[in-house]
Amino acid sequence: MIWRNYWPLVLFLGLVNGRPGLAAEPKTYDVVVQRDVMVTMRDGVKLATDVYLPAAGGEPAAGEYPALLMRTAYNKESWGPDIVRFFAQHGYVSVTQDCRGRYKSEGRFFPWVDDPQDGYDTIEWIARHPRCNGRVGMHGPSHMAWVQFHAATQTPPHLVAMAPFQGPINAYKYSMRCGGALHLGLLKWVVQQAATAQNASRDPAATEAVREMAGDSSFLQWAARIPWQRGKTPLAAFPQYEDAAFQLYLENNDYNEFWRQPGLAMDEYFDRFPQMPILWITSWFDWYPRTINDGYQAMIAMGRKDQFLIIGPWTHWNFNYTVGDVNFPQRDGIGSRQEFLDFELAWFDRHLKGLAGIDLGPPVQVYVMGGGDGGRAANGHLNHGGFWYRGDAWPPKGVELTRYYLGSGGRLSRDEPRESGSSSSYVYDPQNTVSSNGRCIISYGPAAGRGFAGMGPRDQVELATLPGHGTPGRRITERPDVLAFQTLPLSRDVIIAGEIKVVLWVSSDAPDTDFYVKLVDMHPASDDYPQGYGFPVSEGIMRARYREGFEKPRLMERGESYRLEFPLEPAANRFLAGHRIQIYVASSNFPNFDINRNTGDPTGHDSRLARNLIHHDAERPSHVELPLEEVGELIDCSHRAIAP
């Protein structure tokens, strides 16, 4: 074989794995495109599909090839045609399709509910294509990851591999709601999609109104007015999109049968997924690390083979190592979309073309944050540090869940509380929320206008949201409605790697309220950061009425104490000696999550104050469980990563 044209991929894989890698099949092709092929679904609806074929001399190349499918709501002709062409150039029948009701496809658009059947029908149509050898894979980020899970729930016989990048395995539990609170990113997404509805051009004024509704500052105002009423927002001009917004966000508050369908509860159909390799990909500052981690863990527990996990320090659909106001060292990891495509090509060549000699490296490749000098770099960003861990299991072997207990005086330690009646309290006012900061999906403040690139980590100071809400620039932990608990300065480095859980014993004089927890790596004060720097490691939220499950909410009673157990996002971070492990507890995190009005009525606009207590006594020991890496495997990996 002649590898001259593929030396960048050879070099890339060699760097990723720390040893020479075997690149993808070297032959490349010209490409011919069959555009707007209308593929008929089982109900007669036709979906617009472009088929990119390997070619020679202006004609489809002889022979049969494996196929790759990307289904999209974002217009197949403008989103990702270069990606689709890339795979055709490398010997795939590469297919892209407008989802039902979007752009050139027929049918009514309602996010995700028709995609399981449409995905199945499209895969089986591709398998019958005269240039396809019957082996079909799926790929794509974000919405294009959702629809991969959808198709897999239907057990398509010819789906043999997929690579979901940042998409949920359950819409309620990981996307629209987290811990029962409304996660507002996809509500804004529905509004944005209305601006590109098939009938948008017929009413420019209505289109401009929904576009304005989704604007950075405007959406904050609309989010503060939740719950909305049908017919009372600009979405009323686009009934399909209004219906989607209300059913997904404002009407099905509990986990009912609406949510259990294959297009929304994909994890409830995991046993139907084909026995196939899956490349699970996400990043720490996306909104999907927990769902990708949980999907990967579920497949491993089911005994599924060839499961591969990549978690980088990026935000949504990018591979930047400077995100938010933090720098991470890249060292030897994926550093661009092209490098990711090269890796993805090698993955599919191995599993669709059967090129078993391709060395993809260990099945787990996770970025462990932290370990940097903590200074301010020339670009004005914090040097937080980090390295790539590569191994055979996630969490790594040797990780032990270790409890850190909340205590009086803001203490966080491994010592179990012994006192009785110890608690900390605060008053939460829905008219004065704590600003989201660090993994916010809604673009605002310093991230305004930057989209996904602005989502990354930031120092834990208040950002400007709604007028009268907070004091921009003040440390979040200085607010009277935020409880901060932290360790003494660490005497040695501490690494966490894996899943995080919090148990809070709470009381409230309100029938319902939220409890939000953030885990922070608190850098010490320095010349560059005189107040220190609060690096956001993880977070989680629980709406108290869902403490016993999302199916049947139960309100709280004044004077009673309740045990809330809920997950934070998984994380991997090295807390250096001299830093503090900090958590803070609050009852709001806006605009990432909607504002709980403390009444227990999700349909009303009345609000009230809530006096909330966190108990931390011997009988009610509130704590966070951190996955501590005690045996040094990750630290050793760090040293190897930077060794000359």
**Cβ neighbours around 247 below 10 Å, total:** 14
CB 181 within 8 A of CB 541: yes
For residues 151 and 202, membership in a common domain is answered with no
Q: What is the mean pLDDT of residues 381-388?
A: 98
Give the pLDDT of residue 9: 40
Query: Is residue 643 situated within a structural domain?
Result: no
Tokens representing 286? 């996306």
> Nearest-CA neighbor of 318 among 183, 455, 216?
455
Query: Is residue 451 situated within a structural domain?
Result: yes
For residues 200 and 241, membership in a common domain is answered with yes
- Residue 246 pLDDT greater than 90, yes or no: yes
Give the pLDDT of residue 639: 41
**Cα(305)–Cα(300) distance, integer angstroms:** 7
- Indicate the range of 15-19, 33-37, 258-262 predicted with least confidence: 15-19
CA distances for 106 relative to 79, 125, 235, angstroms: 19, 17, 21
**DSSP state for residue 303 in the 8-state scheme:** T
For residues 448 and 414, membership in a common domain is answered with yes
Strand 580-586 relative to strand 382-383, pairing: unpaired
Please state, rounded to an integer, the average pLDDT across all residues of the chain: 93
Q: Where residue 444 falls among pLDDT bands split at 50, 70, 90?
A: confident
- Residue 453 pLDDT greater than 80, yes or no: no
Query: Is residue 350 situated within a structural domain?
Result: yes
pLDDT in tens, 319-336: 999 999 999 999 889 999
Can you say whether residue 7 is alpha, beta or left, with left for phi > 0 and alpha for psi between -120 and 50 degrees? alpha
Handedness of CA 266, 271, 272, 273 (dihedral sign): positive
Domain boundary, last residue among 259, 289, 311: 259
Q: How far is CA 224 from the centre of its chain?
A: 23
**Cα(495)–Cα(373) distance, integer angstroms:** 16
Give the pLDDT of residue 446: 80
CA distances for 109 relative to 104, 148, 204, 233, 618, angstroms: 12, 18, 20, 19, 54
Domain boundary, last residue among 361, 391, 410: 361
Give the pLDDT of residue 445: 80
Tokens representing 21? 């890698």
Give the pLDDT of residue 45: 98
- Residue 306 pLDDT greater than 50, yes or no: yes
Q: Where residue 3 falls among pLDDT bands split at 50, 70, 90?
A: very low
Q: For the chain, how many residues are written?
A: 644
Query: Is residue 640 situated within a structural domain?
Result: no
For residues 189 and 224, membership in a common domain is answered with yes
Query: Is residue 372 situated within a structural domain?
Result: no
Give the pLDDT of residue 439: 79
DSSP string covering 106-144: -S---TTTTHHHHHHHHHHHHHTSTTEEEEEEEEEETHH
For residues 51 and 122, membership in a common domain is answered with yes
Query: Is residue 349 situated within a structural domain?
Result: yes
Residue given tokens 């990043």 in the structure block: 283
For residues 117 and 160, membership in a common domain is answered with yes
Q: Where residue 13 falls among pLDDT bands split at 50, 70, 90?
A: very low
Q: What is the mean pLDDT of residues 245-263?
A: 97
> Nearest-CA neighbor of 140 among 76, 47, 198?
76
Q: For the chain, what percent of residues have pLDDT higher than 90?
A: 89
CB 570 within 8 A of CB 547: no
What range does the domain containing 218 cover?
A: 173-259
Q: What is the mean pLDDT of residues 165-192?
A: 96
Q: Where residue 452 falls among pLDDT bands split at 50, 70, 90?
A: confident
Q: What is the mean pLDDT of residues 166-185?
A: 96
For residues 415 and 343, membership in a common domain is answered with no
Three-class HEC string of 452-498: HHHCCCCCCECCCCCCCCCCCCCEHHHCCCCEEEECCCCCCCEEEEE
**DSSP state for residue 102 in the 8-state scheme:** S
**Total structural domains in the chain?**
3
- Residue 195 pLDDT greater than 60, yes or no: yes
Q: For the chain, what percent of residues have pLDDT higher than 70?
A: 93
Q: What is the CATH number of the domain that holds 549?
A: 2.60.120.260
Give the pLDDT of residue 528: 97
For residues 493 and 351, membership in a common domain is answered with no
Query: Is residue 378 situated within a structural domain?
Result: no
pLDDT in tens, 552-572: 999 999 999 999 999 999 999
pLDDT in tens, 65-78: 999 999 999 999 99
- Residue 17 pLDDT greater than 90, yes or no: no
> Nearest-CA neighbor of 12 among 25, 4, 23?
23
**Cβ neighbours around 285 below 10 Å, total:** 25
For residues 165 and 36, membership in a common domain is answered with yes
Report the Cα–Cα distance between both ends of the chain, in Å, rounded.
32
Q: Which residues pair with 38 in a beta bridge?
A: 48
For residues 509 and 469, membership in a common domain is answered with yes
Q: What is the mean pLDDT of residues 505-512?
A: 98
For residues 474 and 561, membership in a common domain is answered with yes
Q: What is the mean pLDDT of residues 589-596?
A: 96
> Nearest-CA neighbor of 152 among 262, 297, 23?
262
The residue type of 134 is G
Domain boundary, last residue among 259, 291, 316: 259
Q: What is the CATH number of the domain that holds 279?
A: 3.40.50.1820
The residue type of 526 is S
Query: Is residue 387 situated within a structural domain?
Result: no
**DSSP state for residue 9 in the 8-state scheme:** H
Give the pLDDT of residue 632: 56
For residues 81 and 29, membership in a common domain is answered with yes
**Cβ neighbours around 252 below 10 Å, total:** 17
- Indicate the range of 107-121, 316-330, 630-644 predicted with least confidence: 630-644
**Cα(443)–Cα(220) distance, integer angstroms:** 10
**Cα(615)–Cα(392) distance, integer angstroms:** 40
- Residue 641 pLDDT greater than 80, yes or no: no
Tokens representing 85? 């062409």
- Residue 119 pLDDT greater than 80, yes or no: yes
